[in-house]
């Protein structure tokens, strides 16, 4: 069974709580939450207080994607804000294994994200310590970008490395691009602009039909 994680990066921030309720009603599985610091990526979004403010709007899994330098500084804050999964980028933290241990020490799930140019080798010694690999299929920072085709090969290689781990794909996911990602072995799909630019239920259904 695939899971759909609408990215609230494409939501209307002026009514974020209502937007989250709406994607919940529309059949979302996770709420994908993009945290950007203007350093690791060229854009700034929001931090733990904003996440905390909408935690009581839904019981859906909060899938928190940290695009920030040295995320270890803020893991506890995001846990307290209500994160169920925290994903860090391989290049954002010097001691990646320690950061994974830190996330797991709070009893939540840990994920590692790979940029389009990042090889999968980084996963070799940590894959059994994490719950999810996030494959960036665009360069992180902005919604609405075009899907990068080399992501397909990467998903296949990760699926060969581990038969059951969750593989999440993030960037440029539509009813067209999702199909080849599923065939390659991914099972969790972030969709920002695709879900939020139409009827949320129709869009989520169209992804799940694939
Ligand atoms: C990009 C973010 C994505 C983004 C995806 O850095 O990590 O989650 O919201 O947006 P779409 O689905 O529009 O490519
Ligand atoms: Zn994301």
Query: From the CB of 71, is ligand 1 less than 6 Å away?
Result: no
Report whether 72 contacts 94 (CB < 8 A).
no
Domain boundaries, the chain: 3-208
What atom of ligand 1 comes closest to residue 36's alpha carbon? 6
Report d(CA 172, CA 177) in Å as an integer.
7
**ipTM surpassing 0.85, yes or no?**
yes
Active site residue 37: no
Residue 170 Cα to ligand 1 middle (Å):
6
Residue 147 Cα to ligand 2 middle (Å):
13
CATH 3.40.50.150 fits 3-208, yes or no: no
Query: From the CB of 178, is ligand 1 less than 6 Å away?
Result: no
Mean pLDDT by groups of 10 residues along the chain of 210 residues: 98 98 98 98 98 98 99 99 99 98 99 98 98 99 98 98 98 98 98 98 96
Report d(CA 133, CA 114) in Å as an integer.
8
Residue 194 Cα to ligand 1 middle (Å):
10
Nearest ligand to residue 140 Cα: 1
Residue 203 Cα to ligand 1 middle (Å):
16
- What per-residue confidence (pLDDT) applies to 210? 85
**Mutation test residue for ligand 1: of 23, 145, 178, 189, the one with most atoms within 8 Å of CB:** 145
Compute φ and ψ for 166, nearest 5 degrees.
Answer: -70, 130
Spatial CB neighbours of 85, under 8 Å, sequence gap ≥ 6: 30, 61, 62, 63, 64, 108, 109, 110, 111, 131, 132
Global pTM value: 0.98
Decide: helix, strand or coil at residue 142: coil
- What per-residue confidence (pLDDT) applies to 150? 98
Query: From the CB of 141, is ligand 1 less than 6 Å away?
Result: yes
**Sign of dihedral through CA atoms 76, 81, 87, 90?**
negative
Query: From the CB of 134, is ligand 1 less than 6 Å away?
Result: no
Active site residue 170: yes
């Amino acid at each position: 069974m695939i899971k759909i994680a609408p990215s609230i990066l494409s939501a209307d921030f002026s009514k974020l709580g209502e937007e989250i309720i709406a994607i919940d009603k529309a059949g979302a599985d996770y709420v994908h939450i993009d945290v950007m610091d203007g350093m690791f990526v060229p854009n700034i979004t929001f931090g733990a207080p904003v996440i905390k403010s909408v935690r009581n709007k839904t019981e859906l899994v909060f899938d928190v994607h940290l695009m920030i330098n040295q995320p270890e500084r803020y893991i506890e804050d995001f846990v307290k804000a209500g994160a169920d999964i925290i994903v860090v980028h391989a290049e954002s933290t010097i001691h990646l294994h320690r950061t994974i241990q830190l996330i797991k020490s709070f009893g939540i799930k840990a994920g590692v994200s790979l940029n389009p140019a990042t090889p999968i080798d980084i996963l070799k010694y940590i894959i059994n310590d994490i719950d999810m690999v996030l494959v960036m299929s665009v360069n992180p920072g902005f919604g609405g970008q075009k899907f990068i085709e080399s992501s397909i090969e990467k998903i296949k290689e990760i699926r060969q490395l581990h038969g059951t781990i969750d593989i999440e794909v993030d960037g440029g996911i539509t009813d067209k691009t999702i199909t080849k990602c599923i065939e390659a072995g991914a099972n969790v799909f972030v969709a920002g602009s695709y879900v939020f630019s139409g009827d949320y239920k129709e869009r989520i259904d169209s992804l799940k039909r694939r």
